[in-house]
């Protein structure tokens, strides 16, 4: 079974490269991680299909292409301090950790938080975990070199912008509850003359994520 899974993982990496993922470090990271460890039992046979899969709490583990594309946009460097909003299964956390980052991840759903922490810790990843409202970031450890949000927001949470280092990057899906566009937000190295932070934004194609719930996200799912 392990040999079959290894081959399926190789095929997935080749598919991602064919679909436009050009960052070799991201492809290598995905090639190392056993995605079957992050999906629910009845979905393990689909672990290396390039599709999103259901998790507990009406959440999902993102499509591998989405994980790879967002990680590529994030442009993680070794020893970067990275905040992830929405731990989910923990798969995205693992990919970022494989790139050599110091990962801080926040999950609002306690069931997912506990399971992801158990999964990642058992594999041997040293990651900082917190159960709470990720739209407020993690002030105690701010600022961050990189921030990634894995759920769809109505707008970019101001608190996350404030917790981004000068020169830092934030990747976040923004739009309605049913469809979003992916944004790459970069903070300038220099602030404005009145000491206000300056940001640039680039917009990418459409994605669909579960709603980002929290004080600076959607107030309710319905």
Catalytically annotated residues: 62
Token pair of 141, please?
């450890």
In sequence order, the 6+-apart residues with CB closer than 8 A to the CB of 196 are: none
User: Which 8-state DSSP code applies to residue 100?
Assistant: T
Query: Which residues, including other chains, have CB under 8 Å from residue 104's CB and lie 6 or more apart?
Result: 81, 82, 83, 84, 127, 128, 130, 138, 141, 144
- The candidate with the shortest Cα–Cα distance to 138, out of 148, 130, 149, 146, is 130
């Amino acid at each position: 079974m392990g040999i079959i899974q290894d081959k399926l993982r190789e095929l997935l990496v080749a598919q991602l490269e064919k679909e436009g993922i050009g960052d070799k470090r991201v492809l290598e990271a995905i090639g190392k991680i056993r995605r079957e460890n992050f999906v629910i039992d009845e979905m393990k046979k689909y672990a290396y299909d390039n599709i999103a899969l259901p998790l507990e709490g009406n959440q999902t583990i993102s499509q591998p292409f989405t994980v790879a594309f967002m990680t590529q946009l994030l442009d993680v460097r070794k020893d970067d301090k990275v905040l992830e909003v929405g731990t989910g299964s923990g798969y995205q956390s693992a990919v970022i950790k494989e790139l050599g980052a110091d990962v801080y991840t926040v999950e609002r759903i306690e069931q997912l938080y506990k399971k992801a922490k158990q999964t990642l810790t058992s594999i041997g990843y040293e990651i900082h975990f917190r159960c709470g409202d990720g739209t407020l970031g993690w002030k105690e450890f701010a600022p961050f070199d990189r921030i990634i949000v894995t759920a769809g927001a109505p707008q970019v949470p101001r608190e996350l912008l404030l917790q981004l280092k000068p020169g830092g990057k934030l990747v976040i899906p923004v739009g309605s509850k049913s469809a979003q566009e992916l944004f790459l937000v970069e903070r300038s190295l220099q602030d404005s003359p009145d000491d206000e932070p300056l940001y640039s934004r680039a917009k990418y194609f459409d994605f669909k994520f579960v709603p980002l719930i929290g004080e600076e996200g959607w107030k309710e799912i319905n």
